[in-house]
Structure 1
Amino acid sequence: MSHNNNNQPLANEDTPVAPTLKEAFWYWLKLGFISFGGPAGQISIMHHDLVEKKRWISEKRFLHALNYCMVLPGPEAQQLATYIGWLMHRTWGGLIAGCLFVLPSLFILIALTYVYLRFGSQPLVAGVMYGIKPAVVAIVLFAAYRIGSRALKNKWLWLISLAAFVAIALFRLPFPLIVLFAALIGYIGGKYSPATFIAGRGHQASEKSYGKAVIDDNTPTPAHAKFNFQHLLKVFVVGIALWILAMILLMLVYGWQATLTQMGWFFTKAALLTFGGAYAVLPYVYQGAVDHYHWLTATQMIDGLALGETTPGPLIMVVAFVGFVGGWTQHVFGVDSLLLSGVVAASVVTFFTFLPSFLFIFLGAPLIESTQNNLKFTAPLTAITAAVVGVILSLALFFAVHVFMPNQSVMHIDWIALALAIVGFMALFKFKVSIIKLILAYSLIGLMLSFI
């Protein structure tokens, strides 16, 4: 059989040739630059490429991996890429797939953040940012609607969502506490009223077959993917050791209270709390980075989310923006080395945010491969997801206040920004406009308004 160049769809009766690590490397690199559209968009790109076109993995095995990634904290699309890379080419395959999903986004964000901090006060850049902010309010509001329409299936889940909104918006309760309470309610509720806490069915396999795949429905689990307790222990020790070494290094060089050390500690906690995607953890990042550490201002946080939406890769990469701005404003390496301060801080934050993601895959995937049946969402997770909707709604409200009332006064409402946000929400909701198109259109509107 002739070797397939991995770009052309294969005839259904052919068995595709297993890709080499080098071929996989080029695919994962390309994916890192084109993975726009949030987790849903990124997962659909991977499904189209890996299941339908290249047939590296079957639909059933793809969805089996995805269902596992969905119950983990962390960016599910990046974890799915890591999982598939690991399944095909062992640990190196997983590391390459997971890192290349993130690195292009990191480099692009570093460049954009530098331009933003260096030239943000220039009328043209300020105009673009003015246009994008109402779009961000619309996007976050739409995210709350989208997750809510899937998650809030009955009045009890609505109540949990409302309670979470009140807890974070009015009482300023810490995000981890809200997650903990929601999980507890779900755990108890699941025992006494299981039907109330039955979650969405996850991703179910369709009946459609795309022909034989390299890793097919009935392909035996590769030797390296079989569950082995000793290997699991080794992976756990290596992962924890990497984290401890990085933290000790930062502490010895800079001290515990230093900006970089505190960033490492804070973003480790944030990484373990990203149930429900990046929007869910943003209020926690806001509480820490803006309110507690003062690494950046509320306005900069909104601008960071706007930049994060315009770059490929997982939206949680907005943490790199937070790190860069924090390193820059705190003068980590002195006032003469602001760029270096920003780059190093962004890199530190990215390392600590994504290390747990790799650990979860390398630890849990062999166990998941050994089960080969669909994971059921647990009752606590259903309750957490419901609480997350309320938390995201509070984030939308917070952004709205800062964008529509820049002086924090009801007497000074920015009616143009308000109108733009309403139109933006309708564009997403009714006309299914893609986020990237909305951001581009609004940046042009902002640019035109700056000339008026």
Structure 2
Amino acid sequence: MSGTAGSSGRRHAQPLPAHGVSLGEAFRVWLRVAALSFGGPAGQIAVMHRILVEEKRWISESRFLHALNYCMLLPGPEAQQLATYMGWLMHRTVGGIMAGGLFILPGIVAIMALSWIYALFGQVGFVSALFFGLKAAVLAIVLDAVVRIGRRALKNRVLIGMAAVAFVAIFFLDAPFPLIILVAGLTGLLAGKAGLPQFQMSGHGNGNATDTDDLLGDELPAHARPNAGRSLRIAAVWLALWLLPVAALLLTLGGGNVFNQIAVFFSKMAMVTFGGAYAVLAYVAQQAVETYGWLRPGEMLDGLGMAETTPGPLIMVLQFVGFMAAFRDAGALSPLLAGTLGGLLATWVTFAPCFLWIFLGAPYIETLRGNRALSGALSAITAAVVGVILNLALWFGIHTIFREVQPFAWGPFEFDAPVWESVNPWALALSAGAIVAMFRFHAGMLPTLAATSAAGIVLYLAGAIG
């Protein structure tokens, strides 16, 4: 339904869009979504679905799922981009900026505060013990993500096979993540065009709202119609906002500066982070630890634990990585100032492209609802992402439970193998306990994180860990 709402006096004071939802009301709703955005992308998408589709009935079920499918195909955090898409549909560009910006604002503040605490006190026994416990729960959460996404995405043997191939390629063959996603996407695109049923997904929601009685209606809003001139303007503005700061840093500071490394590396990540945070964090962790020396292996888990316990997308862990990188290579700046600037820079180049993808592509995607090729590409990419997430779970598990790893190579296969004698029994016990709590007793994410963190502190006070 698309009739106007509200009194004539209100319309005279502040004209409302045709759907009748004011920008002020939308602000309050998006603030609520941001405050409830715990639990990773699945939980965040569920919150948006419940509020926007079932409770407010702003958006129809089919339109919500179509937007979600597009966001899953994009690099970057799908939940934040979905919020931007929904905000844009309702209130044009200002609505998209408001919805997408509010979605990440609580996480920016929380991760920055935790990064300060970690940098100042992370090596103090009590704080180290807290993060020791967090790592155990993070492993269980990542494994839960593998199972949850796998159940949703791997509906047949073909897609299970694609997930297995993706896992072998990235874990044993060190295949580049973007290449895996590209091959999967092209495979699904061709299969979708051919009409193969194995690559057709039925959607992501589980709500029972119908496609009627939603405020936006089924009509294409005027601002959602493709326009070449407007697309060029959008591309120019958002590319400038994203890349001009990077170019300015390169010109003024030189190529070897840590801020340039952060800007360039995370700008690259913004273009290849298909499948959300879990799918790319293994690659980011490996680069941050092995190539740049920004972090030690366990510290990436600490950062992921922070992101899991705070609102906002999990990719906010990249702010922690940028913070620690600049904190440890501050140059003439104070370490905390450098770290703060490094964290904000990583956040900026990570999320600025997200708005570009939505504002540039969404008008064209709105005209493609029901396209079989798009659905096929989505199915294949999601299947490959399951294999990549399994790689992440295994990589994190090895570096959490074992104190040492050693490279292993056999023909084309190579990976970091654990040194079995270096097993940390307390890490193993806490990880097993977290897995049992979540999978057997269906404990929530936050209670599990709280329990393992408390257990880490108890172990520290008892002298079991240093």
**TM-score, normalising length: structure 1:** 0.88
The answer for the alignment partner of 1:9 in structure 2 is: none
Identity of aligned pairs, percent? 47
With over 3 angstroms needed to count, the CA separation of the structure-2 counterparts of 1:23 and 1:158, relative to structure 1, is closer
Matched, 1:422 2:432: yes
- The question of whether the paired residues in 1 share the 8 Å contact of 2:49 and 2:207 is answered with no
Residue identity in the other structure for 2:264 = W
CA distance in 2, matches of 1:78, 1:109: 16
How big is the shift at 1:188?
A: 6.2
With over 3 angstroms needed to count, the CA separation of the structure-2 counterparts of 1:434 and 1:225, relative to structure 1, is same
- The question of whether the paired residues in 2 share the 8 Å contact of 1:60 and 1:205 is answered with no
Deviations 1:84-119 (A, max 9, x none): 211222111111111111121011101001101111
Alignment of 1:198-213 (within 5 A): 198-203=199-204, 208-209=209-210, 212-213=213-214
- The question of whether the paired residues in 1 share the 8 Å contact of 2:154 and 2:160 is answered with yes
Structure 2 unmatched ranges of 5 or more = 8-17, 406-418
Deviations 1:400-448 (A, max 9, x none): 1221112443123222322222232232223332212211121111111
How big is the shift at 1:315?
A: 0.6
The answer for the alignment partner of 2:460 in structure 1 is: 450
- My pick for the range that moved more, 280-289 or 107-116, is 280-289
- The question of whether the paired residues in 1 share the 8 Å contact of 2:135 and 2:301 is answered with yes
The answer for the alignment partner of 1:267 in structure 2 is: 266
Matched, 1:343 2:322: no
Match of 1:73 among 75, 89, 104: 75
How big is the shift at 1:350?
A: 1.0
With over 3 angstroms needed to count, the CA separation of the structure-2 counterparts of 1:261 and 1:145, relative to structure 1, is same
Residue identity in the other structure for 2:77 = P
How big is the shift at 1:279?
A: 0.4
CA distance in 2, matches of 1:210, 1:432: 33
The answer for the alignment partner of 1:122 in structure 2 is: 124
CA distance in 2, matches of 1:404, 1:222: 53
Q: CA RMSD in A?
A: 2.6
Residue identity in the other structure for 1:40 = A
Match of 2:108 among 101, 106, 109: 106
The answer for the alignment partner of 1:28 in structure 2 is: 30
Residue identity in the other structure for 1:418 = L
With over 3 angstroms needed to count, the CA separation of the structure-2 counterparts of 1:303 and 1:372, relative to structure 1, is same
With over 3 angstroms needed to count, the CA separation of the structure-2 counterparts of 1:37 and 1:375, relative to structure 1, is farther
The answer for the alignment partner of 1:438 in structure 2 is: 448
- The question of whether the paired residues in 2 share the 8 Å contact of 1:333 and 1:340 is answered with no
How big is the shift at 1:388?
A: 2.3
- My pick for the range that moved more, 104-113 or 134-143, is 134-143
CA distance in 2, matches of 1:153, 1:422: 28
Aligned partner of residue 442 in structure 2, secondary structure: coil
Residue identity in the other structure for 1:422 = A
The answer for the alignment partner of 2:386 in structure 1 is: 389
The answer for the alignment partner of 2:15 in structure 1 is: none
- My pick for the range that moved more, 296-305 or 379-388, is 379-388
**TM-score, normalising length: structure 2:** 0.85
With over 3 angstroms needed to count, the CA separation of the structure-2 counterparts of 1:66 and 1:338, relative to structure 1, is same
The answer for the alignment partner of 1:136 in structure 2 is: 138
Aligned partner of residue 420 in structure 2, secondary structure: coil
With over 3 angstroms needed to count, the CA separation of the structure-2 counterparts of 1:380 and 1:369, relative to structure 1, is closer
The answer for the alignment partner of 1:293 in structure 2 is: 292
Matched, 1:278 2:277: yes
- The question of whether the paired residues in 2 share the 8 Å contact of 1:150 and 1:200 is answered with no
- My pick for the range that moved more, 153-162 or 142-151, is 153-162
CA distance in 1, matches of 2:167, 2:209: 41
- The question of whether the paired residues in 1 share the 8 Å contact of 2:303 and 2:320 is answered with yes
Deviations 1:129-185 (A, max 9, x none): 111111111211222222223333444444433333333323333322333344455
How big is the shift at 1:235?
A: 0.9
CA distance in 2, matches of 1:90, 1:385: 29
Matched, 1:358 2:355: yes
Aligned partner of residue 421 in structure 2, secondary structure: coil
- The question of whether the paired residues in 2 share the 8 Å contact of 1:289 and 1:296 is answered with yes
The answer for the alignment partner of 2:401 in structure 1 is: 404
Deviations 1:387-406 (A, max 9, x none): 32222222222211221112
Deviations 1:70-92 (A, max 9, x none): 32222121111111211222111
CA distance in 2, matches of 1:305, 1:53: 31
Aligned partner of residue 49 in structure 2, secondary structure: helix
Deviations 1:43-94 (A, max 9, x none): 2222222233333333343333223223222212111111121122211111
How big is the shift at 1:230?
A: 1.2
Match of 2:174 among 172, 175, 186: 172
Matched, 1:304 2:303: yes
Residue identity in the other structure for 1:424 = A
Residue identity in the other structure for 1:281 = V
How big is the shift at 1:298?
A: 0.8
- The question of whether the paired residues in 2 share the 8 Å contact of 1:18 and 1:56 is answered with no
How big is the shift at 1:186?
A: 4.4
With over 3 angstroms needed to count, the CA separation of the structure-2 counterparts of 1:132 and 1:99, relative to structure 1, is same
With over 3 angstroms needed to count, the CA separation of the structure-2 counterparts of 1:332 and 1:35, relative to structure 1, is farther
- My pick for the range that moved more, 200-209 or 222-231, is 200-209
Aligned partner of residue 272 in structure 1, secondary structure: helix
How big is the shift at 1:187?
A: 5.4
Structure 1 unmatched ranges of 5 or more = 4-15
CA distance in 1, matches of 2:394, 2:423: 14
Number of equivalent positions: 435
